[in-house]
Each structure stands twice: as structure tokens, then as C-alpha cells.
């Protein structure tokens, strides 16, 4: 068991040395930053899946007990756009991580694009919900 623990620690130290302590860069971004970006995107994908499967599913169960179908339709309308908003949150975190490696123009345009994306999603929700709202 001690040998396995030593091998594991050696492997972790090797990975840390080769990835996080190196000066190797891809597109002028350190590999350690790229690894962090990949982990953020992976976490965002998992969070989106958990949100959809757990929270939206529970809301669907609660709304299915009501007499009207209005709330069921509203949950159905919100399902996809809320997942998109979680992705935009993940992309915002990615921007915060890589901002120091981007130009001033890129750092100015990326938040604008993310804001427009959120605005588009809000408009999409209102468009889809318009028949329900009257």
C-alpha cells in the first residue's frame, strides 16, 4: 500500500512539474492556464447536466401536480435557455482566467459578446413565453 501511495505522489509531482511549473505555452497562453480552462469547461458541463437533471426535473414534478398546464409549459420553455446561461457563466469564468494573456481589444469585446448572448437568451425566453403571457 505504501508503494502505491509513493507511486501516486511521484506521478502527481511529475504532472505538476511538467504542466504547472513549465514555461511551455500554446498561443502565448501557459499550459497550466489551458488546463484550468479545460477544468472550468468540464465543471460547467457537469453543472449544466446536474441542473437540468435534478433541479428542472424536481420543478417538473412540482408543476405536474398543479391543475393548470401553464407552469408546465413555462418550465419546458426555460429548460434549454437556463442551460445556455450556465454555459455563458462558465465562459465568463474562462475569460477571467485568460484575460491577462489577451489583448486589450479582446478583453473589451469578450464581455460585450457574453452580454449580448445573455440578452439574446432573455429575448428568446420572452419570445417563447409570449403565448403564455398573453
pLDDT digits (tens, 9 = 90+) for 32-51: 888 889 999 999 999 999 98
- Whole-angstrom CA distances from 28 to 67, 99, 125 are 58, 12, 38
pLDDT digits (tens, 9 = 90+) for 85-105: 999 999 999 999 998 888 999
If you average pLDDT over residues 62-69, what whole number do you get?
A: 85
- Give the three-class secondary structure for 24: coil
pLDDT recorded at residue 81: 92
**Extents of the domains making up the chain:** 25-133
Write down the pTM of the prediction.
0.76
Amino acid at each position: 500500500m505504501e508503494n502505491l501511495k509513493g507511486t501516486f505522489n511521484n506521478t502527481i509531482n511529475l504532472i505538476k512539474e511538467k504542466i504547472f511549473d513549465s514555461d511551455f505555452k500554446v498561443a502565448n497562453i501557459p499550459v497550466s492556464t489551458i488546463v484550468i480552462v479545460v477544468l472550468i469547461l468540464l465543471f460547467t458541463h457537469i453543472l449544466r447536466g446536474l441542473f437540468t437533471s435534478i433541479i428542472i426535473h424536481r420543478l417538473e414534478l412540482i408543476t405536474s401536480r398543479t391543475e393548470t398546464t401553464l407552469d408546465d409549459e413555462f418550465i419546458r420553455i426555460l429548460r434549454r435557455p437556463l442551460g445556455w446561461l450556465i454555459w455563458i457563466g462558465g465562459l465568463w469564468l474562462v475569460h477571467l482566467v485568460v484575460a491577462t494573456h489577451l489583448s486589450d481589444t479582446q478583453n473589451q469585446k469578450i464581455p460585450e459578446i457574453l452580454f449580448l448572448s445573455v440578452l439574446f437568451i432573455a429575448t428568446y425566453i420572452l419570445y417563447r413565453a409570449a403565448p403564455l403571457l398573453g
